[in-house]
Amino acid sequence: MSNIKCIIIEDEPLAVKVLADYISKIPFLDLQGSFKDAFLASEYLHNNTVGLIFLDIHLPKLKGMAFLKTLINPPSVIITTAYHQYAVEGFELNVTDYLLKPFEFERFFMAVNKVKTIASEVKNLEIKDYIFVNVQKKKVKVLFSEIIFIESQKEYIKIVTTKNEYLSKMGTGEIEALLPENLFKRIHRSFIISIQKIESFNAEMVEVNGFTIPIGRGYKETIGVFLDT
């Protein structure tokens, strides 16, 4: 099983330092970054996928619980707070665990092990060959086998398939989290392609079903994945 990518949403520098230190001791956790408010984190999640969020409740601008309610397909969430009175609401929002500050490493380790167990169980489930996306107030079924590529268009994504094109209001990071990693690969901040639909590629672009898709500067290493398919 691959490492679990995680982020910290916390406005207290000392609390961030403690969490980052604890995370560094866990081999299966991969810290991607920390954010002092929910808006900065939301911007990051719009274009990036993580498996775990460490979330403080009393954040500036937007409180942790309010932020959690905005996530359409949230990853695992571990609440880290000094306030016990939000525990019930947290578990109603399906958080994995609720850590009361200050917490010891042993308690932290128990919480992240829950996340690891859940992630393993999800991986073992039979993978569906489709997803449903919201298109003009309807849920539309889209088969993985028909998707050619997905393009980010601000707060929307365009899903181009062999039969149709769909515009859905969601982030690239959100749709990426719903796609099987062995079938789809992000090659640009704005593009996710079907590996099976690749016709040719070089260091600058990929051709999929007659479409030419650019490879982003930060995604050059993705070429190695094509060579293994």
CA distance 73 to 132: 12
CA distance 197 to 204: 17
The pLDDT value recorded for residue 112 is 96
CA-CA-CA-CA torsion for 62, 66, 157, 49, nearest 10 degrees? 90
The pLDDT value recorded for residue 38 is 94
Residues of the chain with CATH 2.40.50.1020: 130-228
pLDDT band at 225 (very low <50, low <70, confident <90, very high): low
For residue 180, pLDDT beyond 90 = no
104 Cβ contact list (under 8 Å, min separation 6)? none
The pLDDT value recorded for residue 74 is 85
Tell me the one-letter amino acid at 5: K
Tell me the one-letter amino acid at 158: K
CA distance 184 to 144: 9
The pLDDT value recorded for residue 182 is 79
The pLDDT value recorded for residue 13 is 95
64-93 tens-digit pLDDT:
999 998 887 789 999 999 988 888 888 888
Angstrom CA distances, 219 to 170, 192, 200, 206, 228, stand at 22, 11, 17, 12, 16
pLDDT band at 223 (very low <50, low <70, confident <90, very high): low
CA distance 80 to 15: 9
Lowest mean pLDDT across 92-96, 111-115, 125-129, 168-172? 125-129
SS3 137: coil
120 Cβ contact list (under 8 Å, min separation 6)? 1
CA distance 106 to 209: 51
The pLDDT value recorded for residue 154 is 82
Average pLDDT score over the chain: 89
**Which one of 3.40.309.10, 3.90.1570.10, 3.40.50.1110, 3.40.50.2300 gives the CATH number of domain 4-124?**
3.40.50.2300
Region 115-136: what's the mean pLDDT? Answer: 78
Cβ–Cβ < 8 Å for 109, 117: no
Residues 184, 51, 88, 36, CA torsion sign? negative
Cβ–Cβ < 8 Å for 197, 209: yes
Residues of the chain with CATH 3.40.50.2300: 4-124
What is the CATH class of 130-228?
mainly beta
Cβ–Cβ < 8 Å for 96, 77: yes
- Enclosing H/E stretch for 55: strand 52-55
